[in-house]
Amino acid sequence: MEREALIRTMQSILGPEGVISEREQLRSYECDGLMNYRVIPELVVLPETAAQVQAIVRVCYDEGIPFVARGSGTGLSGGALPVESGVLIVLSRMRKILEVDIPNQRVVVEPGVINMWVSNEVAEDGYYYAPDPASQIVSSIGGNLAENSGGVHCLKYGFTTNHVMGAEIVLPDGSMVNIGGGKAPDAPGYELLGAFVGSEGTLGIATKITLRIVRKPEAVRTLLAAFKDTEEAGGAVSGIIGAGIVPAAIEMMDALCIEAVESAVQPGFPQAGAILIVELDGPAAEVENQFEQTLKICEENDASEIRVAEDDAERALFWKGRKAAFAAMGRISNDYYVQDSVVPRTELGKVLKKISDLGEEYGMRIANVFHAGDGNLHPLVLYDNNVPGEAEKAEKLAGDIVFTCLEHGGSLTGEHGIGEDKKKYMPKMFTTDDLNVMQLLRCAFDPHQICNPGKIFPTPRLCGERPGPFRMHPVQRAGLAENF
């Protein structure tokens, strides 16, 4: 289809305001939260209803045009990076909370709804939505679902995948399917919902999502403890977990990170080699008892200072410091490159040491802020893009960190996703057979591979389907796969 004809067709579905085709305007959609990769899409469309999404996807399917879904565009792996000659389907106009069902502890939303709005909506009833990515005031539920986003409280309460109970999805052929039970448990058939969550927008577009909400805990206690270095802080983490305590959160920051956060948002953190923020929540009697135990464990591990949040305001201040960590890097460095690898908790000490050695070897600074309870690291490699060669060096160093984590039994990514950014590393973690079998799922959902093509897998696999009567396979045309 000619560009002009495509624009007219989309306008007939969405009205003129729903279609963006001016190059200058298209530019604001050229990347997501990871700005290293930029592609200007052919068109941006802004549907307001599921039926419009379906109509858009049908056109794409019939014409063999690749498309990419985008929520709020905060992703950190290039998942919502547009495809050249493709359509970017932006879901930010689908922002209705469709239903609040307190007796069944469910909320039904459109995909563009912002994470935080869900908790706000049910706060008065004593509930909240548990997965809390640091981006929760901007990122969308659709994006959270696609990335299986995590947050500081996911150690105890689980990730997005444990809280999405049902979804209406538009498949890449334009058909609409409901997966997961929604309000009822154990729908018969394959666990398609579990496979769809975390599939990074490559299996279809979620147009309606049923979420589980959680009762607010009776008691919450939060402490901040300072240590000489990350190793001692790590000792306290092992002690807490080893005592059979499941904290709501355990976060660690190193000295460089504390420095950055301090200059950005002034939470008044102690100067230390490392700090831990530990939060316990649940029934009061249990929390009080285990909190005392946690304090003791921190002392036994030579904490130089321990602060207990006296009220919600002080707790909020601790968390403000933590959640501002990425943004705060701007205070101490022009640019940074963040990784998201995971290691088994018991390997943390060794891996942190190796990361620091790598930093020295490369002569670059690395700040660490991470989810210590589940071993999900966020090493921030600091560099200056104005210095020629530094960006490449930073990326290479970040790659070496990833390989170190894999050597210690870890994973490439704990929450940010593979997307465009890490697909080149996939063969380090998975065999060709592993990746081919994963792509069988892709072939079942998206046989023509028009849905967010080129992401996750380093080598796309064609599905043995004939790509329609007319022309080259869209993935080939976009230069994303060779024929094999």
Partner 1 sequence: MDTRTKNVSLEDLQRIVGEEHAWEATPDDAVDGVGSSFVAEPGSVEETSELLRFAAEEGLAVSPRGGGTKASLGNPPREVDLVLSTVRMDEVIEHVPGDQVVRVQAGIKLEDLQERLGGSDQMLGIDPPETKSGATVGGVVAANSSGPRRHRYGTIRDLIIGITVVLSDGTVAKAGGKVVKNVAGYDLSKLFTGSLGTLGVIAECNFRLHPRPEAARTVAVELASTQAAGEAARAVLHAQLVPSAVELHWGEDERLLTVLIEGIPPGVEAQSDTAYYLLRGFGEVRTLTQEEAGSSGPSGAGDEVALKIGAPPAELTGVLDSVLGACSRRRVTPLISGHAGIGVTYVSLSGGDDEAYVQVVEELREIWTRRGGSVVVRSAPPSFKERVEAWGPMGSRLELTRRVKEKFDPRGVMNPGRFAGGI
Ligand X SMILES: Cc1cc2nc3c(=O)[nH]c(=O)nc-3n(C[C@H](O)[C@H](O)[C@H](O)COP(=O)(O)OP(=O)(O)OC[C@H]3O[C@@H](n4cnc5c(N)ncnc54)[C@H](O)[C@@H]3O)c2cc1C
**Chain contacts with ligand X (rule: CB under 6 A):** 32-33, 68-76, 79-80, 91, 111, 133-135, 139-140, 142-144, 146-147, 149-151, 200-201, 205-206, 326-327, 415-416, 452
Hey, which residues between 335 and 354 contact partner 1 (CB under 8 A)? 342-346
Of the candidates 35, 155, 32, 4, the residue with the CA atom closest to the CA atom of residue 90: 32
Which of ligand X, partner 1, none does residue 435 bind to, with CB < 5 to 8 Å depending on kind? partner 1
- CB nearer to partner 1: give 81 or 412: 412
Of the candidates 273, 271, 280, the residue with the CA atom closest to the CA atom of residue 234: 273
Paired with 122 in beta bridges are none
Which of ligand X, partner 1, none does residue 123 bind to, with CB < 5 to 8 Å depending on kind? none
> Quick one: which H or E segment has residue 157?
helix 154-157
Cα–Cα dist 164/204, whole Å: 16
- CB nearer to ligand X: give 153 or 287: 153
Hey, which residues between 414 and 473 contact partner 1 (CB under 8 A)? 414-418, 422, 426, 429-431, 433-438, 440-445, 456
Cα–Cα dist 117/108, whole Å: 12
Which tokens hold the place of 317? 């201040």
Note whether 363 and 315 are within 8 A (CB). no
- CB nearer to partner 1: give 5 or 184: 184
**Residues belonging to the chain:** 484
Shortest Å distance, C-beta 152 to ligand X: 7
- Rounded to 5, what percent of the chain is helix, strand, coil? 40, 20, 40
SS3 of residue 138 by DSSP? coil
Which of partner 1, ligand X, none does residue 40 bind to, with CB < 5 to 8 Å depending on kind? none
Hey, which residues between 30 and 69 contact partner 1 (CB under 8 A)? none
Shortest Å distance, C-beta 416 to partner 1: 8
Q: Contact between 192 and partner 1 (CB under 8 A)?
A: yes
Choose which of 9, 36, 85, 162 interacts with partner 1 (CB under 8 A). Answer: 162
DSSP 377-412: --EEEEE-TTSTTHHHHHHHHHHHHHHHHHHTT-BS
Cα–Cα dist 303/228, whole Å: 7
- CB nearer to ligand X: give 72 or 301: 72
Shortest Å distance, C-beta 233 to ligand X: 20
Which of partner 1, ligand X, none does residue 111 bind to, with CB < 5 to 8 Å depending on kind? ligand X
